[in-house]
A and B are shown apart, each in its own frame.
Chain A
């Protein structure tokens, strides 16, 4: 098991390096490998290539990795919390809740002539994410069915999207373009100061996640046994909810709703390592989620260049098959 994990981690890190490199050099402006280093050390400051690298590509790559990792971690935590393999921030409507409040904030601020700051967007998103989470929780307490939980989450998602669309309909034309891009999910337009904010928030979440590795391990055997081993279940569950919501909210605030990374990554990682130990899962999911999202973003940018496809479309097309395979395999195991 240990060997398998080492191989898996090495593979993901290699993949990360390769995709970072690929993402750096590809795009509408052609960058040569030699330009990268000189841009980073500031030798060619002021040139267009350096500007593209430093202000556009690097922030975007970092954002894609961090936010993708955040999504995957959020998905893993939600799957742990609900003891349900087919949930994730997108499916449960948590991303949509965040999207709704972010859209509201954007429209009100923009029509007031101001551009909202990164922190206030994250806070708005967090509020929306928590609201959806509470709704889903209320349902899950009443019906202990995986299927119904997911259906309710998807319906919450639709309601939020519908209201968001309604608001967009009545918004000023000039804002619509802006909103439209964002609401489909995209890493374009992220700058270095956005990256700083998201790094801080997600780093905090990551640290707390590492601190709860032990109870997460115990929780795999179910609430009753975990409780009998002395796990403070209430505190543990509150932490899971807050962290997974905050992670999903941060992603939505900066990149809009990105689908299926949250559900699919934990399963891919488990298939690679053949373990469910949280000490392996937490760093692994984060890394793998980052790599997957980065690759998808590369595809979104490169596929029909110079036109960008929404990253969510790419993740959906690539990851939905994974989710379907997981569901089929699980059904087979249960029978």
Chain B
């Protein structure tokens, strides 16, 4: 434990959950926020809203009145004030008037937690003090009396003192009050720089919203004794909200310059509880209709049923959108705006003929390890959280979900909502925002889907209904049996009994369909062991593998095997080898080397087997991966050295759609030059060549040499026959004959699969009943 505390550079920043702060009574309640290393989170709010009280409590000057403060993933209450002070430093308001202390004396006092009984400074301490003085330009005033310097200089000295404390978390209470413009700019620039260079998590309060707007990664608006809104700058700084927060009424605020973004500028409109009225009035007069699909358990085929309904409604002439409040998946999709959302909703949107939009999946959880996830809100990563932490945090997301839904609702006729897991997870019922809690919030009718293929479908359906509260059960308007194989006549008596026992209509029985559409997440059977076929592709199954739907296109041919392997002995001699994307490049690279797979890859490459590296896999193909800013834990690793490129990790994430072409492919793919490709990029870090190498994909997104190909572009195999041509080229080289007709055009193929799905489901379900559930008495 001690190791972790002293090594604050690898810290996890600051988290609070359900923190209540105040003096004799609560001033602000239920504060759940997260400050990641390198990020600046700013508290804004009117005077007296409790910003300082929050900061004082986090800094340990006030006892919390409830809830937990976590520093570096450890509870602050558990580690004691001495250890806490090695992680957290503060610059608070209030005039400090020490007698006869030089600025250096003041800065040196920051080393307090590290020195011995009499506070004598070690060499290390002296070095840290010098560093802090250099970072704040205070060396030239070091010997001046602290009382005889200007306010701006004082603030710099106090900042230096805090930096000397070598913190992972920095608390700043109104760091710019009483400073003139020059020093304001000076201090804020330094804070921004320190946060990113030293990877410090900064939590501060600012009087001036116009500054908070420019400086913050996340803004937390405090008022009325609670956190009113939390989000990115464009989410919080909306005119209506800022006017309400600061009680501006209809004051003319132009004197202060911009205080908010107008509608067109923000990426995602987020609303408070009053937002509904705004949207309604801007609406065509009514909200959309909606229906919610829930499952008795995971993998009953909810997302496929939702996709089918989307397509059916769309074909019936409605404007349809899918919606799932929270999705847990490792595979994310990047929208045209550069925002992340779950792939399942993208697939459903495509079925509905709608443009994928983060509002369709406002919250995405990407598992990072056994019990933690990266939380992505409205397409942007907010923080890494443990399950328990997220359970608390998610309450604060309710307004986000509502606003996203309301906004969609104003643009579409019908919204098909998908639940997650089972609605009968009675231990998670409190604060539910994905199943019945959401259905209630949105007042949606519910279809409950059971999976007959896995057995026990009657027990699934009736048992689920039994565990629901009365009002929840009443929401369930129909039952659906999914994945039925065999004779419908044999099932008929069972259906009658089900209707009677469940006191609920059975809307239909959907047959088992062998469809090839994007599946949702890591719970699929992709990783079951497969045997090599005529044309053999091995994908290295990295421990933190991500975006593996990239290779689905190859699975469409019966002659091709796509094997996910994690043991050197199982790799064999494939026709092609792919290193996929990962959530942890350095970690997985290390694993690659220790597991012996690295050697196998290098050997295969020497035998001229084509090796592809996508995203993280591409980075691994290079010579060196360095992480100077500690974006992924600060580990540097030597790569496989198959391509002459170097990667530098950085904490800023590249997220964009890609439309370009294959430039000058080498080796076996040489005839693919000039081919248009589409896809998306999502990665931390930049990769640059250091030696002669050929451009594989355009805009510097990938390089190749010989039969080694690396690129950041996900989805490059999907379109324009790229997959088919690669397989053809390689199989010709290896003198194999492979049927590649199924690989032809993935997009067209997908659409035909969706149509097949919609047709089957329409035949299986009582669509009239469903239209009645959502309030259309006759279908249009």
Contacts and interface: CB of A to CB of B under 8 A. Distances in A.
A218 B112 contact: yes
B109 A217 contact: yes
B60 A228 contact: yes
Contacts of A115: none
A85 B84 CA distance: 32
Given A220-B101, A221-B109, A222-B94, A230 B81 contact: yes
Interface stretch (A133-141, A199-207, A275-283, A288-296): A275-283
Q: Which of A85, A220, A276 has the most CB of B within 10 A?
A: A220
B129 to A, nearest CB: 14
B92 A270 contact: no
B418 to A, nearest CB: 47
Interface string B760-776: 00000000000000000
A214 B82 contact: no
A276 B98 contact: yes
Interface string A32-67: 000000000000000000000000000000000000
Interface string A208-230: 00010110011011101101111
B131 interface: no
A69 B702 CA distance: 78
Nearest to B99: A276
Nearest to B92: A224
Interface string B68-93: 00000000000001111110111010
Given A214-B115, A214-B118, A228-B60, A222 B109 contact: no
Contacts of B464: none
Nearest to B106: A221
Contact of B165 (A227, A229, A277): A229
Contacts of A230: 81-86, 112-113
A333 interface: yes
Contact of A270 (B98, B100, B110, B165): B100
B255 interface: no
Given A214-B115, A230-B82, 16 more contacts: A213-B118, A217-B119, A221-B161, A222-B94, A222-B96, A222-B98, A224-B61, A224-B94, A225-B90, A225-B161, A227-B60, A229-B113, A229-B165, A231-B81, A276-B99, A277-B105
B59 interface: yes
A276 B106 CA distance: 12
A164 B101 CA distance: 43
B118 A228 contact: no
Nearest to B145: A274
B253 interface: no
A25 B30 CA distance: 75
Nearest to A267: B99
Interface in A254-294: 270, 274-277, 279
Contact of B98 (A85, A220, A279): A220
A232 interface: yes
Interface string B127-155: 00000000000000000000100000000
Nearest to A278: B119
B117 interface: yes
B96 A225 contact: yes
A228 B89 contact: yes
Contacts of B89: 228
Interface magnitude class on chain A: 20 to 34
Contacts of A217: 109, 119
A270 B89 CA distance: 30
Contacts of A220: 98-99, 101, 109
A217 B90 CA distance: 18
B119 A213 contact: yes
Contacts of B94: 222, 224
B138 to A, nearest CB: 15
Interface of B: 56, 59-61, 81-86, 88-90, 92, 94, 96, 98-101, 105-106, 109-110, 112-113, 115, 117-119, 147, 161, 165, 171
8 contacts: A85-B99, A214-B117, A218-B112, A222-B96, A227-B61, A228-B88, A231-B81, A276-B99
Contacts of A275: 100
- Counting chain A CB atoms within 10 Å of each CB, the highest count among B56, B86, B109, B113 belongs to B109
A222 B97 CA distance: 8
Contacts of B61: 224, 227-228
Please name the 10 residue pairs, one residue from A and one from B, whose CB atoms are nearest each other, closest first: A230-B85, A214-B119, A229-B112, A276-B100, A230-B82, A228-B90, A220-B98, A276-B99, A230-B113, A230-B81
Contacts of B161: 221, 225
A194 B548 CA distance: 88
B85 A221 contact: no
Nearest to A85: B99
B78 to A, nearest CB: 15
B96 A231 contact: no
Nearest to B158: A225
Given A214-B112, A227-B61, A221 B96 contact: yes
A277 B99 CA distance: 9
Contact of A229 (B99, B109, B117): B109
A211 B117 contact: yes
A232 B81 CA distance: 8
Contacts of B56: 224
Contacts of B106: 221
Given A228-B89, A276-B101, A218 B109 contact: yes
Contacts of B115: 214
A334 to B, nearest CB: 9
Contacts of B118: 213-214, 279
A211 B118 CA distance: 7
Residue in A85, A214, A218, A224 whose Cβ sees the most chain B Cβ within 10 Å: A224
B100 A225 contact: no
Given A211-B117, A214-B115, A333-B147, A228 B59 contact: yes
A201 B451 CA distance: 84
Contacts of B105: 277
A290 B113 CA distance: 34
Contacts of B165: 229
B597 to A, nearest CB: 47
A225 B92 contact: yes
Nearest to A83: B97
Interface in A60-94: 85
A85 B98 CA distance: 11
B81 A270 contact: no
Nearest to A232: B81
A35 B546 CA distance: 96
A47 B89 CA distance: 68
Contacts of B113: 229-230
A211 B96 CA distance: 25
A221 B91 CA distance: 11
Nearest to A275: B100
Q: Give the one of A213, A222, A228, A230 with max B CB within 10 A.
A: A228
A151 B314 CA distance: 84
A12 B88 CA distance: 43
B119 A274 contact: no
B169 to A, nearest CB: 11
B339 to A, nearest CB: 38
Contacts of A277: 105
Contacts of B60: 227-228
Q: Which of B86, B90, B98 has the most CB of A within 10 A?
A: B98
Nearest to A333: B147
A227 B56 CA distance: 11
Contacts of A279: 118-119
Contact of A221 (B59, B98, B100): B98
A277 B121 CA distance: 14
B65 to A, nearest CB: 18
A224 B115 CA distance: 19
Contacts of A231: 81, 112
A274 B144 CA distance: 12
- A227, A229, A231 — which one has the most chain B CB atoms within 10 A of its CB? A229
A232 B85 CA distance: 11
Nearest to A229: B112
B119 A229 contact: no
